[in-house]
């Protein structure tokens, strides 16, 4: 039987066994520094619910200037669904807090560890599941 339940179960089995690899399925994640964590508070401008990775574009207020637009990577739609997300879980205009690991090159880019809504609800990002504690020294390509 092809059901949501059986597929979810399969997807979750996949998560538990191989999510670390799934997370880097499309490209290596060497661009992110998993030893660092950063909190962003802002307003969702755009959600790109797409392969190979989905993104939240977040406008973060900057004192005395224009807001800075951050791009925060989340998983592919199939991985996100297996982790409890829906296509419309996050909507443009919502105020959210994102815990991320930032890009090494200092650009406003990161990979999501955890998203918190204004009412306290949370969604976990792939990086939050795969790398719950920052490793001491990231291995090459991982």
Percent helix, strand, coil in the chain, to 5, is 20, 35, 40
Cα–Cα dist 22/76, whole Å: 9
Out of 13, 21, 36, 68, the residue judged to bind another protein by CB under 8 A: 21
Asked if residue 57 binds another protein (CB under 8 A), the reply is yes
Span 76-135, contacts to another protein by CB under 8 A = 77-78, 81, 87, 103-105, 107, 109
Asked if residue 28 binds another protein (CB under 8 A), the reply is yes
Q: Which residues of 91-127 are buried (b: 16+ CB within 10 A; e: fewer)?
A: eeebebebbbbbbeeeeebbbbbbbeeeeeeebbbbb
Asked if residue 12 binds another protein (CB under 8 A), the reply is no
Out of 16, 63, 66, 91, the residue judged to bind another protein by CB under 8 A: 66
Asked if residue 35 binds another protein (CB under 8 A), the reply is no
CB count within 10 Å of CB 27 equals 10
- Which one, 66 or 118, has the nearer CB to another protein? 66
The alpha carbon torsion through 12, 72, 127, 120 (nearest 10 deg) reads -80
The footprint of another protein (CB under 8 A) covers 1-4, 6-8, 10-11, 18, 21, 24-28, 30-31, 33, 45-46, 48, 50-53, 55, 57, 66, 69, 71, 77-78, 81, 87, 103-105, 107, 109, 140-141
């Amino acid at each position: 039987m092809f059901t949501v339940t059986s597929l979810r179960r399969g997807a979750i089995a996949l998560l538990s066994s191989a999510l670390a690899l799934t997370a880097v399925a499309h490209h290596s994640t060497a661009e992110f520094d998993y030893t660092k964590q950063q909190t962003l508070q802002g307003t969702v401008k755009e959600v790109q619910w797409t392969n190979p990775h989905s993104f939240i574009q977040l406008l973060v207020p900057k004192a005395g200037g224009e807001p800075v637009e951050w791009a925060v990577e989340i998983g592919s739609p199939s991985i996100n669904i297996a982790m409890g997300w829906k296509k419309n879980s996050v909507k443009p205009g919502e105020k959210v807090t994102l815990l991320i690991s930032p890009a090494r090159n200092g650009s406003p880019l990161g990979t999501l560890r955890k998203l918190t809504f204004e009412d306290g609800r949370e969604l976990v990002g792939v990086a939050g599941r795969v790398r719950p504690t920052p490793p001491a020294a990231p291995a090459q390509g991982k």
